[in-house]
Amino acid sequence: MPDLDLSADVVTLTRQLVDIESVSRNEQAIADAVEAALSSYDHLSVLRRGHTVVARTDLGRGERVVIAGHLDTVPVNANLPSRYEERPDGDLLHGLGTCDMKGGDAVILRLAAGISEPVRDVTFILYEAEEIDSEFNGLNLLSQSDPGLMEADFAILMEPSNAEVEAGCQGTLRLEVRTTGERAHSARSWRGVNAIHGAAEILGRLNGYEPRKPLIDGLEYHEGLNAVGISGGVAGNVIPDECVVEVNHRFAPDRSEAEAEAFVREFFAGYDVRLTDSAPGALPGLDLPAAKAFIEAVGREVNPKFGWTDVARFTSLGIPAVNFGPGDPMLAHKQEEFVPVEHLRRCERQLTDWLTGVVG
Amino acid sequence: MPDLDLSADVVTLTRQLVDIESVSRNEQAIADAVEAALSSYDHLSVLRRGHTVVARTDLGRGERVVIAGHLDTVPVNANLPSRYEERPDGDLLHGLGTCDMKGGDAVILRLAAGISEPVRDVTFILYEAEEIDSEFNGLNLLSQSDPGLMEADFAILMEPSNAEVEAGCQGTLRLEVRTTGERAHSARSWRGVNAIHGAAEILGRLNGYEPRKPLIDGLEYHEGLNAVGISGGVAGNVIPDECVVEVNHRFAPDRSEAEAEAFVREFFAGYDVRLTDSAPGALPGLDLPAAKAFIEAVGREVNPKFGWTDVARFTSLGIPAVNFGPGDPMLAHKQEEFVPVEHLRRCERQLTDWLTGVVG
């Protein structure tokens, strides 16, 4: 089993985590290492569920905060092991997961190991399978198996957000919009009905889409409606009888999933629309006292989160939650992902100050 | 290996052939059965090239005719095994390949087995992979490996033509019309350029296409321009950076391949157009003596051939050729394809009369 040294510098620890390959469904090694490393600290109670590790303080503080990060990554893309780059404008750590999100995980492990008497009780959660279908998601499974472990006054998800606070998140719907036609030999095409030609109007409507950009709690969201896939065709000499356009709708958190679905059904009126996946957005909740206090304590600007994150899971449990983690979210899932070393240090410092009562 | 009984009735034999599934690139079983069945007749020399079977008489007649059919079919579409339907207006045989073109193949096998001393020497060719790219086409491969086997004074292709003579054929071009964009996470779609949305205009132009219908040797042709495939998409949360529309253009035989290519390049001006496959049309050639003689002998009306067939391959070798086979070409590649039993019997009778000297 690879050893993790939680007393090492946050950059060294990030590298150790990155160099344990942990593509979704292959988190055993990293979860074993995390569990073993945390278990040696007496101020933590450590539990394991699948490849999800939970470490809690229980000091009877008046407030409890969850700080969470996922241990899995998207597939390897010739970007392991990690690589350190010294640069005059700030050093970078390159490699799969540096940004999404082992940099955040390293900060979590540093806080868990290093702060034995936090001013707020903390539940640290390092979980499996965030990058794949939500049925495997460790946080989702934990909320079903041990709902008590999710209880908190506030939650911080250390997803990459440029070491700034990103509040709320947009919801996401996936749908298939389908045209049907009638097959015929392409030499006598006038005897059939071409379903691919029929998709012209679907793509035309998408081109005419005007995104809503609602302002919520002072944050400007930005919706999206995009074809993310298209397929049709039977053979090179057959008029195709079906064409499927796969559409992804990202909707601001002032709309429910049902409202978003109604919107896309209206938008594609006249076509066969099938919903294939759906996740709600999360309102920023910046008016809630715990969120306000955290933001004041870290003294950072707040931005809207466009992508969907597990923040929405906490919101649906009634727990205010924000994203706050090292790394540029634009680099997530990109081959060239990296994390600025300065982000790692800044997140560690600010959260340490907040948990030890230096601020907040 | 399935057994074929070449002494059985042409309908029974058609059913036997249909019930051996032989989608393009899966012709081994049917070719094995055909080769084995033909090899038991002493008046034939049988050769095998890939999954193409050639059987020849060599009686030193003054004339040689090629009679050819392909053994493959388009993909199965819940239309196997075969099904016989008794009807007051004429019985039908239903199923994949009944029309295109195992009915014709059965006639060929009946002629090959049953006529040991034809008045004209005959080269029977049962070949693979007609329904896919011409690089796999058995007749094309044979013309390269054994050009001597293709030599003849006249050729009959038993492609479905309602048991009438169809002369000439339209040419066919396949091309890819491509849009490019720029990837981005679909939660921030405005950072990318959606290549699928960009294909709307391509489909729009296809919807506006007006076909030419030129009159050649008294026969009216009918061109076509159709999307036969479309694909695009990277992942459910990525703005796609490429979309490819596969287009099939069918052009009348008064245009060369180069003229047809110039037309599609002009039609899709502004887009990346790549030619992937091309085959010339064939002028009807009804003024050539061998064609005239056959048409007089079978005494049938002549129609234009819309589909591309391997007739063009013979025409390009300087061999006059016609289509004459059972089944309605409109039903080729349709799920509900069938062949009228009367067509099978009529084609067999007329070709038997012509090969045994009863007519012509």
| Separation in Å, CA of B57 to nearest CA in chain A | 34
Q: What is the distance between the alpha carbons of residues A322 and A164, in angstroms, rounded to a whole number?
A: 10
Measure the CA–CA gap between A286 and B55, rounded to whole angstroms: 84
User: According to the 3-state scheme, what is the secondary structure of A210-256?
Assistant: CCCCCEECCEECCCEEEEEEEEEECCCCEECCEEEEEEEEEECCCCC
C-alpha distances out from residue B293 to A239, B153, B177, Å = 36, 12, 45
Find which of A77, A226, A328, A334 to mutate to test the B interface (most B CBs within 10 Å of its CB): A226
Q: Which of A136, A147, A141 is nearest to A49 (CA)?
A: A141
Q: How many CA atoms lie within 13 A of A45 on its CB side?
A: 8
Say how many CA atoms lie within 13 Å of B12 toward its Cβ: 8
CA distance A339 to A331: 9
CA Rg value for chain A: 23
Is the Cβ–Cβ distance between A195 and A240 less than 8 Å? yes
Two tokens, residue A181: 């036609």
Distance linking the first and last C-alpha atoms of chain A: 39
Kindly list the distances between the CA atom of residue A316 and the CA atoms of A134, A173, A295, A311, A320, in Å, as whole numbers in the listed order. Answer: 15, 17, 21, 9, 9
Chosen from A185, A209, A220 to mutate, greatest number of chain B CBs within 10 A: A185
pLDDT in tens, A288-335: 887 888 988 887 789 998 888 899 999 888 898 999 999 999 898 888
Cα–Cα distance measured from residue A238 to residue A234, given in angstroms and rounded to the nearest whole number: 6
**3-class SS of residue A120:** coil
Determine contact: A75 vs chain B, CB below 8 A: no
A to B CB pairs, distance under 8 Å: 184
The three state secondary structure string of B37-101 is HHHCCCCCEEEEECCEEEEECCCCCCCEEEEEEECCECCCCCCCCCEEECCCCCCEEECCCHHHH
From A185, A222, A329, residue closest to B190, measured CB to CB: A222
What pLDDT, in 10s, does the model give residues A195-214?
A: 999 999 999 999 999 999 99
The answer to whether the pTM exceeds 0.80 is no
Residue B320, pLDDT score = 86
A336: its two tokens: 């060239």
d(CA B286, CA B293): 10
- Chain B, nearest residue to A131 by Cα: B237
* Chain B interface mutation, best of A193, A213, A221, A237, highest count of B Cβ atoms under 10 Å: A237
- Let me know: does A291 contact A167? Beta carbons within 8 Å: yes
Would the CB atoms of B133 and A236 count as touching at under 8 Å? yes
| Residue A285 near residue A295 (C-beta atoms within 8 A) | no
Helix, strand, or coil (residue B199): helix
B233 contacts chain A (CB < 8 A): yes
Contacts of B287 (CB under 8 A, 6+ apart): B217
For B166, counting Cβ atoms within 10 Å of its Cβ (0-12 exposed, 13-18 middle, 19+ buried), the class is buried
Phi, psi of B116 (to 5 degrees): -80, -20
Interface test with B, best of A166, A238, A242 (most B CBs within 10 A): A238
Question: What percent of chain A has pLDDT above 90?
Answer: 82
CA A327 to chain centre: 13
Terminal Cα distance for chain B, rounded: 39
- Going by C-alpha positions, the residue among A45, A155, A232 that lies closest to residue B230 is A232
Rounded Cα gap, residues B142 and B126, in angstroms: 11
With beta carbons under 8 A apart, name residues in chain B contacting A238: 74, 228, 333
The pLDDT value recorded for residue A360 is 67
Q: Is B174 on the interface with A (CB under 8 A)?
A: yes
**Separation between Cα atoms, residue A99 and residue A347, nearest integer Å:** 13
pLDDT value, residue B360: 67
Spatial contact of B231 and A231, defined as CB atoms under 8 Å apart: yes
Rounded Cα gap, residues B170 and B28, in angstroms:
30
| pLDDT for A299 | 75
* Residues of B designated catalytic: 72, 130
Q: Provide, as residue numbers in chain A, all residues whose Cβ is less than 8 Å from the Cβ of B228.
A: 186, 196, 233-240
Helix residue spans in chain B (DSSP H) = 10-18, 28-39, 103-114, 138-145, 147-150, 200-207, 257-267, 289-298, 311-316, 341-356
Vertex A67 angle, CA A64 and A73, to 5°: 160
DSSP B269-307: TTSEEEEEEEE--B---TTSHHHHHHHHHHT--EEE--S
Tokens of A97: 């997961």
Residue numbers of B between 151 and 170 with CB closer than 8 Å to A: 170
Of B154, B163, B247, B230, the closest CA to residue B196 belongs to B230
- The three-state secondary structure class of B244 is strand
Task: Walk along chain B (360 residues) and give the pLDDT tens digit of each residue.
Answer: 788 999 999 999 999 999 999 999 999 999 999 999 999 999 999 999 999 999 999 999 999 999 999 999 999 999 999 999 999 999 999 999 999 999 999 999 999 999 999 999 999 999 999 999 889 999 999 999 999 999 999 999 999 999 999 988 899 999 999 999 998 889 989 989 999 999 999 999 999 999 999 999 888 999 999 999 999 998 888 899 999 999 999 999 999 999 999 999 999 999 999 999 998 998 887 777 778 888 888 877 888 988 888 998 998 888 988 999 999 988 988 899 999 999 999 999 999 999 998 876
* pLDDT tens-place string over residues A16-36: 999 999 999 999 999 999 999
Measured in degrees and rounded to the nearest 5, phi and psi for residue B232 equal: -175, 155
Nearest CA in chain B to A331: B185
Rg (CA), chain B: 22
Which of B187, B333, B335 lies nearest to residue A306, judging by beta carbons?
Answer: B187
CA dist A60 and A83 (Å) reads 42
Chain A contacts of B235, Cβ < 8 Å?
228
Is some CB atom of chain B closer than 8 A to the CB atom of A327? Answer: no
pLDDT tens per residue across all 360 residues of chain A = 788 999 999 999 999 999 999 999 999 999 999 999 999 999 999 999 999 999 999 999 999 999 999 999 998 989 999 999 999 999 999 999 999 999 999 999 999 999 999 999 999 999 999 998 888 999 999 999 999 999 999 999 999 999 999 998 999 999 999 999 999 889 989 999 999 999 999 999 999 999 999 999 889 999 999 999 999 999 998 999 999 999 999 999 999 999 999 999 999 999 999 999 898 999 888 888 878 889 888 877 899 988 888 999 998 888 989 999 999 998 988 889 999 999 999 999 999 999 998 876
Among chain B residues, CA nearest to A246: B236
Distance CA B281, CA B316 (A): 9
Distance from CA of B17 to the nearest CA of A (A): 22
Does residue A277 have an active-site annotation?
A: no
Can you name the residues that pair with B323 across neighbouring β-strands?
Answer: B157, B166
Among residues B170, B159, B164, B149, the alpha carbon closest in space to that of B319 is found at: B149
Quickly count: other Cβ atoms within 10 Å of residue B127's Cβ: 26
User: Which residue type, as a one-letter code, is found at position A179?
Assistant: T
Catalytic pick among A35, A100, A105, A130: A130
The reply to whether residue A233 touches residue B233, judged by beta carbons under 8 angstroms, is no
CB contact under 8 A, B224 and A330: no
